[in-house]
Amino acid sequence: MLARMGNRADETILIVDDEERIRSSLTGILRDEGFRVIDSGEAARVVEIVEQENPRLVLLDVWMPERDGIDLLRQIKLCSPQTEVVMISGHGNIQSAVTAIKLGAADFIEKPFSVESLLGTISRVLDGAEGPNASSGHAAPSALQRKSRAAASATVRRQRTINRSAVLAGQGLHSGSRTGVILQPAPANFGIVFMPLSSDIAIPARLDNVSDTGYNTTLSRGGCHVRTVEHLMSALHAFGVTNLMIKTEAEIPCLDGSALEFCRLISEVGTREQDASLTPLRVDEKIVVGDPSLREEYLSIEPADSLTVEYTLVYPPPIGTQRAHFELTSADDYMREVAPARTFGLMSEMHKLSAMGLARGGRLDNCILVGDEKVVNTELRFANEFARHKVLDLIGDLYIMGRPVVGRVVAHKTGHSDNLALLKALREYCRRKGLDELRQ
């Protein structure tokens, strides 16, 4: 049985679709949920209806025989900027979705969709349409403020989402396909959830949904998967975003190989605190994965007042040994010290990656390519950029625990598979201590 959405009698939804069968079906569903519903199959009258009826939400078909739905969206937002619009398409793609969101649409869903998925979308849009109550500014804190903030963040934090929908388009590093992300505000206790654009299967960013850690972190559920989530997850961890719907194709765009563009997007739309709290996951004992005495791959986490990462990277020349230290006390520090660090690859491994079906989207501007003697395609942003990128990845993978992690992490020669091993050890720690591993 579907959960009721409460009394919505004072809220009007306009359904715009040229198929009468779809309008009739949606009208019945939404009236059962308590909405006042108007429907129209005439594209020419839509703007007039919006001006007369002032609907809270418009469900708008992308493909209308008389008029392009994207053009209709543009006209609706011109005459009634406050009206939320959800685009519906039977054969859309990420480029259409990106265009719609940039023009002001609140969401983009594909037919066929389930009733649960439709009502979930409407609920997120209407509940998230309340005015933002936090600015996007992040003033650099003083040393005393950072220490106080770190201590407070180790106990209880407010849940957080973004102020409004945002989009980024690009290319998948491993698939090579054109892709993008649509970031949408989500209600309290929703979590970080991925959803492939062509499906209504939700993939929460949770440990049980990690399906691959070879050269990237992949989440899968119900036959659907989303690849290379770690850079976006790292930015969300840094900004404290705990509730978010992320619509995408099968891979998150690589952009320039770092998390910087994700951070800039979040800064641009801003974040807001929500009327709910969560407790970060913190340890009261040292947990070790691997054997530090062997000086090979190992990870450890021990009690601390903030998330601190100390990473040692060991590669053959020309990379050599690099070390990076970072304490996550503010989004500004993260944007300055970690986010710009780009993913990297060895020219000697390109044939191997190609045989594995990976790195098909590797270009000269979205990763650091390392030859036998030097970096061949760019200037480094930091002397230890390779180690800093490993810190970036680790912060992203840790967020798959479903809540912020607090502790001093020491990593030596580790990658995504080692990060996954630490997450599993943290889950066992939670079970042993009788703690709820999930944030709610």
Residues taking part in catalysis: 416
Q: How many CA atoms lie within 13 A of 177 on its CB side?
A: 15
**What's the one-letter identity of residue 248?**
T
Number of residues that this document lists for the chain: 440
Per DSSP, what are the bridge partners of residue 169? 180
**Total Cβ atoms within 10 A of residue 194:** 26
Task: For residue 321, give both structure tokens.
Answer: 């040994």
Measure the CA–CA gap between 305 and 141, rounded to whole angstroms: 17
CB 283 within 8 A of CB 429: yes
Q: How far are the Cα atoms of 193, 307, 399 from residue 205, in angstroms, in the given order?
A: 6, 19, 8
Q: What does the angle CA 217 – CA 223 – CA 228 come to, to the nearest 5 degrees?
A: 20
DSSP-assigned letters across all residues of 65-119: SSSBHHHHHHHHHHH-TTSEEEEEESS--HHHHHHHHHTT-SEEEESS--HHHHH
CB 168 within 8 A of CB 228: no
Q: Which helix (H) or strand (E) holds 219?
A: strand 218-221
- Tokens 């006390």 belong to which residue? 329
Task: For residue 165, give both structure tokens.
Answer: 């929908």
Q: How far are the Cα atoms of 61, 192, 260, 408, 428 from residue 57, in angstroms, in the given order?
A: 13, 24, 33, 47, 45
CB 142 within 8 A of CB 132: no
